[in-house]
Amino acid sequence: MAQTPRPTHPLSIDEAWAFTAGQAASTTFFFDFDGVLSPVTDDPDASQPAPAVLGVLERLAGVVNRVAIVSARPVSFLRSRFSSLERVDLYGLYGLEVWHEGDVVTNPAALPWVPAMSDLAEQAKAELPGSILVEYKRLSVALHYRTAPAEAATVERWGHEQAERLGLRVQGGRMVVELKPPVDQDKGMVITEGVRDAGCAWYFGDDMSDIKAFDALRAREAVDPSFFGVAVAVANPETGAEVSSAADLTLDSPDAVAEFLRQGLERF
């Protein structure tokens, strides 16, 4: 039987689901966590998946080849939110960590940076205004100004000074400046590797770091005419416009993501 040609961009959602359902055995769904599966909260420790998310991911994992979460959070955090989902793969810290056969596997190139990151987190707490929330993630430090937007410039300046001093990389995000080790690893690299043998892949993201994942889908389509990639943005008042303009379609919220998937699952 002749293979269905992949849908063309801009996409019709109907065609996208029809093609995906026909390719289910070679399809991967990738999801960012914060802002995509979880509504944004002032306190990053308080974030939880939207109520319908766990059930819908479990069902999706039962009909497609693979479901994976690709996040800037550590794997330990993702495990605490998704431990009930046995069939969902977890990539933490932009792929520096992977949950594999019951263990966290860390990119060895990043490990020497653990002490520097720990020291940096302490320094941030001592030097930045008390309204800045410092999130220590073992291999990176996130400086949050969501509850103190007037301090954005101070945080940006401090972050860039420390990055220069220690040779770190700066990742911008939603009301956050994150300092990371100088190790080549980003969400785009996770997706490039993850779609090598896939016929179809979807990526759902809301933040600047997710645009590289969208780019990886496009790059795969460019070299493999049979591969079909769908980039889905989740709207937000901070990075939303930039992420949406790089995506095939935009959904309103994590709840809308769950509902979109629920409806899509009816096609399988």
Ligand X SMILES: O=P(O)(O)OC[C@H]1O[C@H](O[C@H]2O[C@H](CO)[C@@H](O)[C@H](O)[C@H]2O)[C@H](O)[C@@H](O)[C@@H]1O
Identified binder of ligand X from the candidate list 50, 72, 96, 155, rule CB under 6 A: 72
Chain centroid offset of residue 103 CA: 20
- Distance, in Å, from the CA atom of 151 to the CA atom of 218, rounded to the nearest integer, reads 36
Of the pair 72, 155, the CB lying nearest ligand X is at 72
Catalytic residue list contains 119:
no
Contact string (CB under 6 A) for ligand X, positions 209-228, x = contact: x-------------------
**Binding of ligand X at residue 71 (CB under 6 A)?**
yes
Minimum distance, C-beta of residue 89 to ligand X, in the bound complex (Å) = 14
- Using the contact rule CB under 6 A, the part of the chain among 99-107, 138-146, 159-167, 253-261 near ligand X is 138-146
Q: Are 227 and 212 in contact (CB under 8 A)?
A: no
**Binding of ligand X at residue 44 (CB under 6 A)?**
yes
Q: What is the DSSP string of 20-47?
A: HHHTGGGEEEEE-SBTTTB---SSGGG-
φ, ψ of residue 31 in degrees (nearest 5)? -130, 135
Of the pair 41, 84, the CB lying nearest ligand X is at 41
Which residues are known catalytic residues? 32
- Sites of contact with ligand X (CB under 6 A): 32-35, 40-42, 44, 47, 71-73, 135, 142, 144, 146, 173-176, 178, 207, 209
